[in-house]
Structure 1
Amino acid sequence: MNVYVCIAGILCFLLGIVHSILGEYLIFNSKRNKGSLVPSKKSEALKERHLRILWATWHLASVFGWGIGAILIKISAEQNELDSTSIGFIIQPIIYTMFLSSLLVLVGTKGKHPGWVVLLIIGILLVIGN
């Protein structure tokens, strides 16, 4: 088992869980009508349809993180049985994705959102484990 790739996969899952839970609590909870799953309280600056797509996109990032995490955990568990060229082809774009995502969050939030650190750690773990 590749421990570095496994830890990176687990961090993808954890980041997605924390992202969705905190997003619901800190951002979307006050924008939801009672009993509604999807937030729909429009404001002067944000129409209902824009709020709905922001909510969906917010959770889409978590779902993508879980998918990447599943791929990494599977690779880490069966790395000796899989073709090394294919593993490299799969992991390399994930490394770039994590580093670029980290940079995007760092710049976009002026370093105030801690997600950039976790994305950077995932990228570093994958470089070490690859």
Structure 2
Amino acid sequence: MNTYLCIAGILCFLLGIVHSILGEYLIFNSKRNKGNLVPSKKSEALKGRHLRILWATWHLASVFGWCIGAILIKISIEYNELKSTSIDFIIQSIIYTMFLTSLLVLVGTKGKHPGWIVLLLIGILVVIGN
């Protein structure tokens, strides 16, 4: 088992959970009509349909994070048996994804959103584990 890849995978799951819960609480809770799952309270700056796609996209990020986490955990468990060019490609893709998304969040939020740190840490763990 590759411990670094396993920890990186677990961090992907945790980041996705925190991302969805805090997003619901801090961003979308006040924009939802009572009894509705999807927020749709339009405002002067944001139409209802735009708010709905932002909500869906917000949670897509979490789902994609969980998918990457599942891939990392699967690879970590069978690391010695799975070593191949395909696995190397998958791991390299995850490394680039984590570093680029970390940079995107860092620049986009001027370093005020802590998610960039977790994304960077995941990327570093995958580099070390590879």
Q: Could you say whether these structures have the same fold, taking a TM-score greater than 0.5 normalized by the shorter chain as the test?
A: yes
In the alignment, residue 15 of structure 2 is paired with which amino acid?
Answer: L
Segments of structure 2 that go 5 or more residues without pairing to the other structure are: none
Offset at residue 86 of structure 1 (A): 1.9
Deviation >6 Å, runs of 4+? none
Q: Root-mean-square deviation (CA), in Å? A: 0.6
> What's the counterpart of residue 98 of structure 1?
98
For 1:111 and 1:14, the matched residues in 2 are separated by 20
For 1:99 and 1:79, the matched residues in 2 are separated by 22
In the alignment, residue 4 of structure 2 is paired with which amino acid?
Answer: Y
Fraction of identical pairs, as percent: 89
For 2:3 and 2:47, the matched residues in 1 are separated by 45
* Residues 19-75 of structure 1, C-alpha deviations (whole Å, 9 max, x = no match): 000000000000000000000000000000000000000000000000000000000
* Residues 95-124 of structure 1, C-alpha deviations (whole Å, 9 max, x = no match): 000000000000000000000000000000
For 1:83 and 1:95, the matched residues in 2 are separated by 16
> What's the counterpart of residue 89 of structure 1?
89
Segments of structure 1 that go 5 or more residues without pairing to the other structure are: none
Offset at residue 8 of structure 1 (A): 0.3
In the alignment, residue 84 of structure 2 is paired with which amino acid?
Answer: S
For 1:87 and 1:78, the matched residues in 2 are separated by 11
Return the TM-score normalized by structure 1: 0.99
> What's the counterpart of residue 37 of structure 1?
37
> What's the counterpart of residue 129 of structure 1?
129
Q: Which moved more, 1:40-49 or 1:84-93?
A: 84-93
For 2:124 and 2:36, the matched residues in 1 are separated by 40
